[in-house]
Amino acid sequence: MTSLAGKSAISLSRIAIYAVLIFAVLLYLVPLVVMLLTSFKTPEDISTGNLLSWPAVVTGIGWVKAWATVDGYFWNSIKITVPAVLVSTAIGALNGYVLSMWRFRGSQLFFGLLLFGCFLPFQTVLLPASFTLGKMGLASTTTGLVFVHIVYGLAFTTLFFRNYYVSIPDALVKAARLDGAGFFTIFRMIILPMSTPIIMVCLIWQFTQIWNDFLFGVVFSSGDSQPITVALNNLVNTSTGVKEYNVDMAAAMIAGLPTLLVYVVAGKYFVRGLTAGAVKG
Amino acid sequence: MSSVAAFSKASPFDALQRWLPKLVLAPSMFIVLVGFYGYILWTFVLSFTNSTFLPTYKWVGLAQYARLFDNDRWWVASKNLAVFGGMFIAITLVIGVTLAVFLDQRIRREGFIRTIYLYPMALSMIVTGTAWKWLLNPGMGLDKLLRDWGWEGFRLDWLIDPDRVVYCLVIAAVWQASGFIMAMFLAGLRGVDQSIIRAAQIDGASLPRIYWKVVLPSLRPVFFSAVMILAHIAIKSFDLVAAMTAGGPGYSSDLPAMFMYSFTFSRGQMGVGSASAILMLGAILAIIVPYLYSELRAKRND
């Protein structure tokens, strides 16, 4: 690309760069490939072959067994994730709207207090939260988990929307107010139509967080109300019976597929959410 | 501030409009005050009581903290956190920065490569832990693979070695988080003024030197954020341990988060568990407060 004189040296270093990058690609892919290969093998095949050997017989039995074990928990996760994501995003949008365009005395202090929530180690709230859920009659229910995820998701959802709305020019809102538009009218007619990117970021972030949650799941649910992450952990770490690694790997794939799918389909927003939530949080 | 309707006449509509923002924010304010700060206080109180399976409010002073510090398992967990956190942060940073710098060299198929590096971040730590537990399985995992491929003397049994099991957690955590750090630095690199690099090149500096002396130092804030985030992930690490080792063999791969869970919810030692949670909070605060402080100051100076 540059001068001819330096060409051989440059192409040599470029080969080295490509080699490192491709080697890293392979390394990152190994666990996924191993999981897929193992999930389609028979248990005998697993014990005779190795991680990267091609299945002697490609069989879906691992997937069938895994689905039979985890399908109820998969639906639990959906029942928990969908409402929690929608509600926490909606509240976050309204909070962000107030915190950026309708500030009042104390609202900045509140924002500061909320910001800390992004870093809160949940271990410090687990016990009181479980007492509260018990009092509300929501202990060990998926509804209880929805509540918990909404409450402890608020910090991030509010942060997303607040930081996004701060960059919208004030004049827009002021003009609308002079025309007599009210709080909700401005939100619905002006703010919301501009919010699609940040809504996507927030939905994806919350979906990944809540679907992948294990701590709240294991503490606040039991038996039939457990989310898929807890069920997967139970399956993989049971010490009774013969280990069926094909079933373990298929179950792990099932637990990982929804978020992987979201990542592949909407990767742009996923990355933006990660960096926004991380850098600004 | 400028958007507060300060001079509106007190017609009922205006009054409502003035109160609406506060009303909308009120539930969240309540939730944050109670569910965040109130609950922390509650846990703090519990750490001074002799609560076991159920909360009791009999004051025992610092006895639970004393028991915690007498507990060998707590020290193992804390030491593991130092080892795990230190290695995890260092290795993830090195890999993340290296990949970001290499990817920034007008690479063909960059988008595809980025997608591959980052996909682990979409997975639950439980899935990651399950996968790596299998990969590191002594006798059946990589252990066997490399022997099958002709490396006769290869042994990899860290997962059942109390002295090395922490490294297994490091490997899995690095695999999960390094792509994310790569993405952070790549975003940072894209913001670096290209004319600086060109000027240095004209001065005859080699590209590696330019990166080392000029470009990377200019990414200090990104380094800072990355370390914060990684430290935060490390301190909160619970699911990875649960899935990969459950703290074992014995309690040799325990981390504070795992310790807290098992003392509070399995062993019925709520007091000790709360004390450990408060110490975890202390560790996070020690890292976060200077960070938030500098962030807020930087924003004010903008």
With CA atoms as reference, the chain A residue closest to B103 would be A21
How far is it, in rounded angstroms, from Cα A142 to Cα A170?
A: 41
Q: What is the CATH number of the domain that holds A172?
A: 1.10.3720.10
Which of A35, A80, A124, A265 is the mutation pick for testing B, counting most B CBs within 10 A? A124
> Angle CA(A32)–CA(A38)–CA(A44) in degrees, nearest 5?
170
Share of chain A above pLDDT 70, in %: 93
Per-state percent for chain B, helix, strand, coil, to nearest 5: 75, 0, 25
Q: For residue B301, what pLDDT band results from cuts at 50, 70 and 90?
A: low
3-class secondary structure, A105: coil
- With CA atoms as reference, report the closest residue to A277 among B85, B121, B38, B301: B121
- Examine the domain organization and report whether A134 and A35 are in the same domain: no
Least confident segment among B40-49, B81-90, B156-165: B156-165
pLDDT, tens digit, for every residue of A200-215?
A: 989 998 999 999 999 9
Share of chain A above pLDDT 90, in %: 57
In a domain, A127, yes or no: yes
Q: For residue B33, what pLDDT band results from cuts at 50, 70 and 90?
A: very high
- Mean of the per-residue pLDDT values of chain A: 88
- Examine the domain organization and report whether A112 and A34 are in the same domain: no
Q: B81 at the A interface (CB within 8 A)?
A: no
Q: What is the DSSP letter of A136?
A: T
Nearest by CB to residue B39, choosing from A91, A95, A128, is: A128
Measured in angstroms, the CA of B26 and the nearest CA of chain A are apart by 9
Neighbours of B101 (CB within 10 A): 20
Q: For residue A8, what pLDDT band results from cuts at 50, 70 and 90?
A: low
Share of chain B above pLDDT 90, in %: 48
- With CA atoms as reference, report the closest residue to B265 among A216, A118, A173, A94: A216
Residue type present at position A121: P
Q: How many domains does chain A have?
A: 2
Q: Please tell me the CATH code under which domain B71-301 is placed.
A: 1.10.3720.10
How far is it, in rounded angstroms, from Cα B214 to Cα B193?
A: 11
Average pLDDT of span A86-109:
92
- With CA atoms as reference, report the closest residue to B95 among B169, B172, B180, B158: B180
Q: B99 at the A interface (CB within 8 A)?
A: yes
Q: For residue A275, what pLDDT band results from cuts at 50, 70 and 90?
A: low
Q: For residue A167, what pLDDT band results from cuts at 50, 70 and 90?
A: confident
pLDDT, tens digit, for every residue of A215-243?
A: 999 999 988 899 999 999 999 988 777 78
Q: For residue A135, what pLDDT band results from cuts at 50, 70 and 90?
A: very high
In a domain, A29, yes or no: yes
Q: How many CB pairs under 8 A join A and B?
A: 264
Q: For residue B280, what pLDDT band results from cuts at 50, 70 and 90?
A: very high
Average pLDDT of span B151-166:
87
Domain ranges across chain B: 71-301
- Examine the domain organization and report whether A129 and A265 are in the same domain: yes
Q: What are phi and psi of B59, to 5 degrees?
A: -70, 125
Q: For residue B8, what pLDDT band results from cuts at 50, 70 and 90?
A: very low
Is the pLDDT at B138 greater than 80, yes or no? yes
| Phi-psi label, residue B125: left if phi above 0, alpha if psi -120 to 50, beta otherwise | alpha
Query: Which residues of A fall within a CB distance of 8 Å from B144?
Result: 50-51
Query: Which residues of A fall within a CB distance of 8 Å from B103?
Result: 21
Is the pLDDT at A274 greater than 70, yes or no? no
Contact criterion met (CB < 8 Å) for A35 and B276:
no
pLDDT, tens digit, for every residue of B66-103?
A: 999 999 999 999 999 999 999 999 999 999 999 999 99
- Examine the domain organization and report whether A24 and A112 are in the same domain: no
Tokens of A195: 């919010």
- Examine the domain organization and report whether A142 and A38 are in the same domain: no
- Examine the domain organization and report whether A44 and A80 are in the same domain: no
Query: Which residues of A fall within a CB distance of 8 Å from B277?
Result: 121, 123-124, 126-127
Could you tell me the residue range of the domain that residue A275 belongs to? 65-280
Query: Which residues of A fall within a CB distance of 8 Å from B56?
Result: none
- Examine the domain organization and report whether A27 and A116 are in the same domain: no
Q: What is the DSSP letter of B48?
A: T
**What confidence score (pLDDT) does residue B175 get?**
96
Least confident segment among A10-24, A263-277, B109-123, B167-181: A263-277
Q: For residue A9, what pLDDT band results from cuts at 50, 70 and 90?
A: low
Q: B133 at the A interface (CB within 8 A)?
A: yes
With CA atoms as reference, the chain B residue closest to A128 would be B39
Contact criterion met (CB < 8 Å) for B141 and A260:
no
Q: For residue B3, what pLDDT band results from cuts at 50, 70 and 90?
A: very low
Q: What is the DSSP letter of B159?
A: G
- Examine the domain organization and report whether A186 and A271 are in the same domain: yes
How far is it, in rounded angstroms, from Cα A48 to Cα B216?
A: 48
